[in-house]
Amino acid sequence: MKKPILLAAALAALASPVAAQSCLVVDELWVAGHTKATGALETRVATMGTNVATQRSLTLEMLLSAMKVQTAQVSTNGEREVNLVSNTQQAVAATLSQVAQRQALVDAREQYSIETGQGVNACGSIDLMNSTNRSMGNVAMTGRESYRELDVAPGKNVPIPEATRARLKDPTKADAAILFDPSASDDDRKIVIQDMAGLPIPKPTAAMPGAEADLMMLRARRVEALRSPALVSLSAVRAMSSTDDHQIGTSAASPLAQLEALIAQYGGGPQYEAWSAGLAGQSEHGLLIELTRMRSMSLALRQQLIEQQARTAAVLGTMLATQASGNL
């Protein structure tokens, strides 16, 4: 029963559109309803179009806003990245600059500091060199002054009895070893030199005739001239053992004592080991300073040697002149 009814209903449904397409509707009520439905549909379609346009506009604005936000974000990130890179580079440059400055300070301290860049025991070495140079430089002046103090110096006119009494006063002072004894007094060295020179040469008196007085004076001057090279050399030896008393406020030792101090430090003496070990901790600049000191010391000693050789040559020349001239 149900199957025939369903079949008939399906056939009726299929036949209805065909019948609607072919028939004309004249019912006013239906027409009014159709017109009303059509207007409502058109209104809804227009409203939907308006809504779609509004939604599209909103969507476009949202897209534009999103693009602006994206652009701003990219710009901000780019600026941040640029600032970050710039700040990083500045920090790296500042760090490298600080490292270079600190390294330069370390190098400068290592090269020129008082401990490693000015030689071993800079202050003590400078004091020793200055004292030695001052003492050695005063040898010539001290020798000339002590030479003029002798009673047999050229131009002196010491009475023979007075000179004789001075030489006979203390026979123990007639020893050349006193000249090299650091504990001996300067007066004792003076007595030794006068004993070596002998008595002063007699000078003419006012009662002598003119020719006789002139001849006697010439002989006295010749003897004094022949004695003078030896006396100058002996006075230089005397000055090498004398302390420096010419500068107020100084307490420099004698030139011989200063030379002994140099030998003690640089020539294998007690301070040599400490000085030699200190060279290992010196920088290139410090070693150059030490080399300069050694050269300065060598020049000073060479100058002393030249002066000694000149005095020796003068003494030998005087001896040769004496032998050649005979008893003139």
Query: Residue 285 CA to chain centroid, in angstroms?
Result: 7
In total, the chain counts a number of residues equal to 328
Rg (CA), the chain: 62
pLDDT for the residue 284: 87
pLDDT band at 204 (very low <50, low <70, confident <90, very high): confident
Residue found by looking up tokens 């970050």 in the block? 84
pLDDT of residue 248: 41
What mean pLDDT do residues 134-139 have? Answer: 83
Q: Report residue 313's pLDDT band, with 50, 70 and 90 as the boundaries.
A: very high
What is the tens place of the pLDDT at every residue in 28-45? 888 888 888 888 888 888
Q: Report d(CA 127, CA 130) in Å as an integer.
A: 5
Average pLDDT (104-112) is 81
- Averaged pLDDT score across all residues of the chain: 82
Q: Judge whether residue 16 has pLDDT over 80.
A: no
Q: Where are the alpha helices (DSSP H) in the chain?
A: 2-22, 28-112, 122-137, 139-149, 160-168, 186-197, 210-240, 255-266, 272-279, 284-325
d(CA 96, CA 82): 21
Contacts 24+ apart (CB under 8 A), 130-135: 131/252, 131/253, 131/258, 132/255, 132/258, 132/259, 132/261, 132/262, 132/297, 132/300, 133/300, 134/244, 134/247, 134/250, 134/252, 135/244, 135/252, 135/253, 135/254, 135/255, 135/258
Say if pTM beats, i.e. exceeds, 0.85.
no
| Long-range contacts of residues 171-180, Cβ cutoff 8 Å, at least 24 apart | 179/234, 179/237, 179/238, 179/241, 180/237, 180/241, 180/256
Q: pLDDT at position 81, please?
A: 82
Q: How confident is the model at residue 251 (pLDDT cuts 50, 70, 90)?
A: low
- Provide the pLDDT for residue 7: 43
Q: How far from 241 is each of 27, 160, 232, 250, CA to CA, in Å? A: 161, 29, 15, 17
Amino acid 245: pLDDT: 55
Rounded to whole angstroms, the Cα distance separating 227 from 41 reads 156
* Structure confidence by residue, pLDDT tens digits, 144-169: 888 888 988 888 888 889 988 888 88
pLDDT recorded at residue 26? 58
Give the model's confidence band at 273: pLDDT under 50 very low, under 70 low, under 90 confident, else very high.
Answer: confident
Provide the pLDDT for residue 3: 43
- Distance in angstroms (rounded) separating the CA atoms of residues 158 and 202: 9
182 or 49, which is more confident: 49
For a pLDDT cut of 70, what percent of the chain falls above it? 88
Between residues 245 and 151, which one has the greater pLDDT? Answer: 151
For 111-122, write each residue's pLDDT tens digit: 877 778 888 888
The pLDDT assigned to 167 comes to 86
Cα–Cα distance for residue pair 200/160, rounded to 1 Å: 7
Averaged pLDDT for residues 264-284 = 84
d(CA 127, CA 110): 23
Among 175, 200, 197, 201, which residue's Cα sits nearest to residue 188?
A: 175
pLDDT reading at 47 higher than 70? yes
Q: Average pLDDT, stretch 235-247? A: 75
12-16, 119-123, 162-166, 212-216: which range is least confident on average?
12-16
As given in the structure block, the two tokens for residue 123 are: 């202050």
